[in-house]
Amino acid sequence: MDKTEARITLAIDAMGSDQGPEEVLAGVSQALDLAPRNTEFHLFGREELLNPIMEQFPNLMNGQAQVHHAPEIVEMDEKPIAGIKGKKKSSMSIALQSLKEGTADALLSCGNTGCLMAGSAIRLRTLEGVERPALCTIWPGRERYFTLLDAGANPHAKPYHIVQSAILGSNYARVALGLVRPKVGLLTIGTEEGKGNEVIHETHSMLKEINGSIINYAGLIEGFQIFDNVVDVVVCDGFVGNIVLKACESLSKLIRSFLDEELRRNALRKTGALLSKGAFRSLKQRVNPEQFGGAPLLGLTKNVIKAHGSSNRNHVSGAIKIALDLVQHDMLTQVVEDIRESNEILRPEPLRSVDD
């Protein structure tokens, strides 16, 4: 393989993190030291802000990282379509354009999720045979991490969209979690046949049809099983997935704040908390793992990764590591192959473009 073929280019939306561009660039700097020498980082944002930060990180000045000026910023409260179409010169928009033009292989952004999903749908195409993109998230389970998708890209999912999520999620779990045959479970209520609803029944029988060579389908699972590592890939429609994701993130914060309040309630508890502070730090890291800082929007012709708005440098670096893995393992080629095979088996209705 010659050098040109092997070069990997990552587009980084350097704006849009709650912690400011410093933290994003610090994450890029960490990741750069671990990345292959032929990796290039294109940093999109206001050059008057980014250039001085670059100088704080000597390895960003070695030629692998370049700043690309983008005068506008998509704010966190912006509406999806308005944020993208109204701000064509934003860091997010110009970075997406570089994916579209083929300059970059993958994009990482900590910015507005709705705008990133809408922008990706507008600027990029779905992979051959894929009907809708799906947002994939990594969660902590009792013994190991698992993935859940769709976390909100497609809230009107038809059964076949959920089946495609199963294929997309399995491929992602192979690369990001290093699993050989990730087990897939369909999220429902009650695992007896006949429970759930029409979409579940139809999805369940399609998943059984492609079980084997394309996915490793373990069957229906209930809400209380998702954290028990019964499966590695939990699939559901984007409406359920988004609500469960946000409710769980929010519950986790609530418990942390309850615990914090209780530990400060008197001197004895405060002393105890001081002695065991390592435990609380480890707990936080287990629940919000830095090595999985990003949620990929799967099913597009390029790898698009959304990092949390509050990501620190370790989350950014973790997300970049995964973006590199996806490109190096050429996940997209395997996805296209799996989708083609599943379309042959399931012969779905004629494909449509993403236009909802």
- 253 CA to centre of own chain: 20
Q: Does 47 bind a copy of itself (CB under 8 A)?
A: no
As separate numbers, helices (DSSP H) first and strands (DSSP E) second, the chain gives 13, 11
The one-letter code for the residue type at 117 is: M
Residue 154: CB minimum distance to a copy of itself, A: 10
- Give the residue, chosen from 252, 291, 328, 334, that forms a contact with a copy of itself under the rule CB under 8 A: 252
Amino acid (one-letter) located at 278: G
Of 95, 107, 91, nearest to 50 by C-alpha is 91
CB of 286 to a copy of itself, least distance (A): 5
Q: How far is the CB of 167 from a copy of itself (least distance, A)?
A: 22
Hey, what amino acid is at 308?
Answer: H
**Considering the complex, what minimum distance in angstroms separates the CB of residue 342 from a copy of itself?**
25
Q: Which stretch binds a copy of itself (CB under 8 A): 93-101, 209-217, 260-268, 319-327?
A: 260-268
How far is Cα 158 from Cα 52, in angstroms, rounded to an integer? Answer: 49
Identify residues 97-116 at the interface with a copy of itself (CB under 8 A): 114
The residue behind tokens 């997010």 is: 92
- Interface segment toward a copy of itself; rule CB under 8 A; list 64-72, 167-175, 181-189, 202-210: 181-189
Among 259, 310, 351, 353, binds a copy of itself (CB under 8 A): 259
193 binds a copy of itself (CB under 8 A): no
Using CB under 8 A, which residues numbered 289 to 348 contact a copy of itself? Answer: none
Which residue's CB is nearer to a copy of itself, number 55 or number 192? 192
* Near a copy of itself in 123-152, by CB under 8 A: 140-142, 152
Q: Count CB atoms within 10 A of the CB of residue 266.
A: 10
Q: Which of 14, 13, 30 is nearest to 315 (CA)?
A: 30
245 phi and psi angles, rounded to 5 deg: -60, -50
Per-residue DSSP letter, 274: H
CA-wise closest residue to 166 among 324, 321, 341, 322? 341
Out of 38, 271, 333, 353, name the contact with a copy of itself by CB under 8 A: 271
| Residues present in the chain in total | 356
SS3 76: coil
CB of 305 to a copy of itself, least distance (A): 20
Nearer to a copy of itself, 116 or 214 (CB): 116
SS3 56: coil
The window from 63-71, 188-196, 203-211, 338-346 that contacts a copy of itself (CB under 8 A) reads 188-196
> Rounded to whole angstroms, how far apart are CA atoms 228 and 51?
46
Nearest to a copy of itself of 31, 187 (CB atom): 187
Q: Note the residues at the interface with a copy of itself (CB under 8 A).
A: 79, 114, 140-142, 152, 155-156, 187-190, 192, 195-198, 222-228, 236, 238-240, 242-255, 257-259, 262-263, 265-266, 268-280, 282-283, 286-287
